[in-house]
Amino acid sequence: MLRCLIALLILAPLVASKQSSEQSQGAAAATSTLANPVRKVVTMLQMMMNKIEAEGKVELKLFDDFMCYCKTGDQTLSEEIEAANTKIPQLESDIKTSVEEKAQLEGDLTAHQTDRDAAKEAMAKATAMREKEHAAFLKESAEDGSNIAALTKAIKAITAGMAGGFLQTNEAAVLRKLSVAKTDMVDFDRQALVAFLSGGNGVGYAPASGEIMGILKQMLDEMDKDAAEEAAAEASAAQTYEELMAAKKKEVEVLSAAIETKMGRVGELGVSIAMMKNDLEDTKEALEEDTGFRGDLGKTCASKQKEWDVRCKERSQELIALQETIKILNDDDALELFKKTLPSASFLQVEESAGALRSRAREILQAAKPGKSQAIDFIELALQGKQMGFAKVIALIDAMVVTLKKEQVEDDHKKEYCQVQFDIADDKKKGLERSISDSEKAITQTTETLSTVTDEIKALEEGIAALDKSVAEATAQRKDEHAEYSSLMASNSAASELILFAKNRMQKFYNPKLYKPPPKRELTEEERITLNMGGTLAPTNPPGGIAGTGVSFIEVQSHVSKKDAPPPPPAAKFGGKKSEESGGVLAMMDLLVADLEKEMTVAKAEEKNDQDDYEKIMLESANKRGEDSKSVTEKNAAKAEMETELQAQKDNKEASGTELRATLDYIQSLHAECDFLLEYYATRKEARASEIDAMGKAKAVLNGADFSLLQTAAAVQPSSSLRGAN
């Protein structure tokens, strides 16, 4: 592999430099190239080099994948083989079940189509018979109506005494024909009626009007009865016909619905069988390959390594050979030589002549011409024979006509089946293509939405982190401010208390009336008992604090370094009370206390405001953090749902793609099964009809010979009978 890579690295710059030099040539070189056919060879060699290099990259990728497979393939192959061994019997069982079901459905379809054709044929025959019966009824009814009208007029004329005038009418002629044609009359009555209708001169007989009236009324009653019976029979036949047609129509509808449903099911099974067969074939191929790979994996890997080394060496040698060949052919002297010796563009042109091509094409066309119909060949053979009579030939024609009609019916059923299956498969293909397109759009939209939600979650999390940082900073600041406030309040309170203590002490000396003595000590029970018993109390500890005043102050984080106490003041003269000066000092003390209290009041207000602002900010921050955290949770849930939905859309697209491939395979199988019939259906039908017509004409000719003899005999018989009668 290393040698192969080195060869590719060495040859690639050479090829690139050569190609760049070729591209830099001018218009004169281009013209020369067009004129010189050797340039085509050079171009082909360069294309071969590019192809070999591309194949080398592809083969290198395949080799690397194979080597990786050699390292980790045994376990994977074992799992795949086990899964394939489990899957193949299940697929075979499913295919067998589906094929049997499809065969059953196709058999049912053939039976349904045959039953539907039989029902339609029965409807056609019943309709023809009904029309014939109705026409006969109308004719008979018209005759009966004419006869009844004639009888009615005759009875009316005889009753009115106008028998002589009636005998001259057309109705009298109708009655004469009726009396002669009526076979169920008594001969005496017929003779009397004929004599009466003939004018009373027949054979010297003068019948009485009463007898004639009785005969006529009897005939009228019989004819009315016959007409009523015929009308009832016609109504019954019409009702029977309507019931039959309704039943047959319902049968045709049921059969058509069953055919449509089962054709749809046949199409679905065809697609499913195609999918399962493809899956089975792929699984078997994978199992065979996996078994083979697993059986001699180590040997195969070693062999593949050797093959790869040989292949790399061959490819290197091939590239070097091509490069050297290109260099030879691209040499300036060689190009000049080729330009002089090979000026034609037909270099190395090997083609067949036009005459040879035309001759070969003519032979193919002649071989493709269809021959005569086999049925007509059999009939011609039968007619050429001397021993076979016309009856056998006619029977042969009838049998072949039946066969041709049966074949046409089969073609009709097959055409209907193919058209329906093509429609079903095409609709399913379009639906699957729409489903794949919709899935792709949904995948794109979901991916974009998922990216947006991810960005929003990231922004919210960054905002929460920034908010937490701001809250921590604000909390630290609030603690520092509160500590400073506490220190200020403690120091100011201590200072105020100390000043008041000092003022009270001055009042004791300068203004005893304003002096406030310290509260008396409250004795404990034990101390009171001690005093009552005459004992003395333990001395009281002097007050601590600043200067023994009992006022204490704790300095908070004081960074002021302590200094040595100042030296005592120099000695001064002693004098009397300084009342005026003490008054100024006391006033100054009051001002200091007032300033301290004012400062503490301001500090309290500021502390309260700062605390309120801090609590407000903390509340708003907590609410904001809660809302953002809730939004993050909701968006994470939505993101999880969208990821699940995206995976479902991808799975749906993959399933639709698999089903679409199976549907296309089924459509391909339908083309293989139906294209010839659909393309040549009209031609086959026309040819079949022509054959049937030709055989019908032949049969008519043969029958015409027999019929001509029968007609001659029939023409002779009446003449002989007439001679006998004469």
Domain boundary assignment for the chain: 2-341
Q: What is the pLDDT averaged over residues 119-142?
A: 89
Residues 500, 502, 506: CA angle, nearest 5 degrees: 110
Q: Are 687 and 373 in contact (CB under 8 A)?
A: yes
pLDDT value at residue 321 = 80
pLDDT, position 221: 81
Question: Which range is least confidently modeled, 179-193, 247-261, 383-397?
Answer: 383-397
Among 217, 220, 196, which residue's Cα sits nearest to residue 208?
196
Cβ distance 284 to 88 under 8 Å?
A: yes
In the predicted model, what is the mean pLDDT of the chain?
Answer: 74
Owner of token pair 């039968």: 382
Q: How confident is the model at residue 711 (pLDDT cuts 50, 70, 90)?
A: very low
- Mean pLDDT value across residues 270-281: 87
Higher-pLDDT residue of 141, 191:
141
- Report the pLDDT averaged over residues 481-502: 85
Lowest mean pLDDT among 168-182, 213-227, 647-661: 168-182
Q: Taking residues 20-45, what's their average pLDDT?
A: 53
**Residue range 317-338: mean pLDDT, rounded:** 76
Helix 38-160 with 170-181: angle, nearest 10 deg: 100
Using pLDDT thresholds of 50, 70 and 90, give the confidence band for residue 250.
very high
Band the pLDDT of 444: cuts 50, 70, 90. Answer: very high
Q: Which residues of 544-576 are buried (b: 16+ CB within 10 A; e: fewer)?
A: eeeeeeebebeeeeeeeeeeeeeeeeeeeeeee
> How would residue 124 be classed by pLDDT, with cut points 50, 70 and 90?
very high
Categorize the per-residue pLDDT at 601 as very low, low, confident or very high, splitting at 50, 70 and 90.
Answer: very high
Whether the pLDDT of residue 165 is over 80: the answer is no
pLDDT at 683 over 70: yes
Say whether pLDDT at 340 is over 70: no
Span 277-292, pLDDT tens digits: 888 888 888 888 878 7
Q: Indicate whether 716 pLDDT > 80.
A: no
Q: What is the mean pLDDT of residues 455-481?
A: 90
Q: Count of H helices and E strands in the chain?
A: 15, 0
Which contacts qualify for 412-417: CB closer than 8 Å, 24 or more apart? 413/110, 413/113, 414/674, 414/677, 415/677, 415/678, 415/681, 416/113, 417/109, 417/263
386 exposure class (CB count in 10 Å sphere: 0-12, 13-18, 19+): exposed
In sequence order, which residues have a C-beta less than 8 Å from that of residue 306 and are 6 or more positions away? none
Average pLDDT on 508-518 reads 76
Helix, strand, or coil (residue 565): coil
Give the lowest-confidence range in 91-100, 406-415, 714-723.
714-723
Looking at per-residue pLDDT, the higher value among 182 and 199 belongs to: 182
Task: Print burial letters for 404-426: b (CB count within 10 Å at least 16), e (below 16).
Answer: beeebeebebbeebbebbbebbe
Residue 561 confidence (pLDDT) above 60: no
Spell out a b/e string for 503-521, using b for 16 or more CB atoms within 10 Å of the CB, else e.
Answer: bbebbeebeeeeeeeeeee
- Cβ atoms of 165 and 147 within 8 Å: the answer is no
Region 170-190: mean pLDDT is: 68
Q: Given a cut of 80, is residue 699 above it in pLDDT?
A: no
pLDDT in tens, 634-668: 889 998 998 999 899 899 988 988 888 888 988 88
Distance, in Å, from the CA atom of 254 to the CA atom of 258, rounded to the nearest integer, reads 6
CB 508 within 8 A of CB 665: no
Residue with tokens 């014939």: 132
DSSP 601-641: HHHHHHHHHHHHHHHHHHHHHHHHHHHHHHHHHHHHHHHHH
Q: What is the largest CA-CA distance in the chain?
A: 212
C-alpha angle with apex 163: 157 to 167, nearest 5 degrees? 105
**Rounded-to-integer distance, Cα 534 and Cα 406, Å:** 152
Q: Which pLDDT does position 562 carry in this prediction?
A: 39
Q: Which residue has the higher pLDDT, 600 or 22?
A: 600
Phi then psi for residue 575, to 5 deg, are -135, -165
Q: Is the pLDDT of residue 258 over 80?
A: yes
Mean pLDDT of 464-477: 90
What pLDDT score does 580 carry?
Answer: 55
Flag the least confident range among 90-94, 388-392, 634-638: 388-392
In this model, does residue 181 exceed pLDDT 70? no
pLDDT at 452 (0 to 100): 92
Residue 373 has what pLDDT?
Answer: 55
| Contact (CB, 8 A) for 193 and 214 | no
Long-range contacts of 190-194 (CB under 8 A, 24+ apart): none
| Max mean pLDDT range (138-147, 328-337, 433-442) | 433-442
Task: Say yes or no to pLDDT of 80 above 80.
Answer: yes
| Separation of alpha carbons 726 and 720, rounded Å | 10
- In CATH terms, 2-341 corresponds, of 1.10.10, 3.30.1380, 3.30.390, 1.10.287, to 1.10.287
**Burial classification of residue 402, based on how many CB atoms lie within 10 Å of its CB (0-12 exposed, 13-18 middle, 19 or more buried):** exposed
pLDDT given at position 404: 83
- Distance, in Å, from the CA atom of 45 to the CA atom of 323, rounded to the nearest integer, reads 8
User: How confident is residue 377, by pLDDT bands cut at 50, 70 and 90?
Assistant: low
> Residue 368: its pLDDT value, please?
35
Residue 333 in tokens? 């002297």
Mean pLDDT to the nearest integer, 226-233:
87
Amino acid, single-letter form, for residue 535: G
Amino acid 422 reads: F
Tens of pLDDT, residue by residue over 571-585, are: 434 444 445 555 666
Q: Which residue has the higher pLDDT, 559 or 48?
A: 48
Confidence (pLDDT) at 25: 44
Per cent of the chain over pLDDT 70 is 68
Position 223 scores a pLDDT of 80
Residues 121-133 have a mean pLDDT of 90
483: tokens are: 């500590």
- How many whole angstroms from its chain centre is CA 153? 83
pLDDT score, position 451: 92
pLDDT, mean of residues 509-534 = 73
Confidence (pLDDT) at 270: 85
pLDDT of residue 448: 92
